[in-house]
Amino acid sequence: MGAVKKKFISGILEREKMGVTYIGSGIVFPHTYEKYINYSQVAFVRLKKPIKWGGYEVDIICLLALKNLVVENFKIIHQNLMQNLKIIKNSNNTNEIKEGLISAGRENN
């Protein structure tokens, strides 16, 4: 509550029209303009059944509300997600999933 402004969702839909935010492996990173964000938050959803998103099968939605969406911040989030993808897709432990999102390289341990 309070992290985003009322136009946050419409901004996401507008950006999706410009280009689908599918990055492969069943993952999308929808995001919007900084002006619709009060403070940074990331929401993560792992779906039980994949859905169609811009013509792709998607089972992970990583909704970005980043006040400073710079390429380096996105790369870090993306790298952590991809390096821990097996854990994130298969674990039922919320803390393990969260740790996989914020810590790179765990899957190889």
* Domains annotated on the chain, with CATH: 8-108 (3.40.930.10)
Q: Which residue has the higher pLDDT, 79 or 73?
A: 79
Give the pLDDT mean for 61-87.
Answer: 82
Per-residue burial over 16-48, b = 16 or more CB atoms within 10 Å of its CB, e = otherwise = beeeebbbeebbbbbbbeeebbeeeeeebebee
Q: What is the pLDDT of residue 76?
A: 82
pTM beyond 0.95, yes or no: no
Mean pLDDT of 68-88: 81
Give the mean model confidence (pLDDT) for residues 71-99.
83
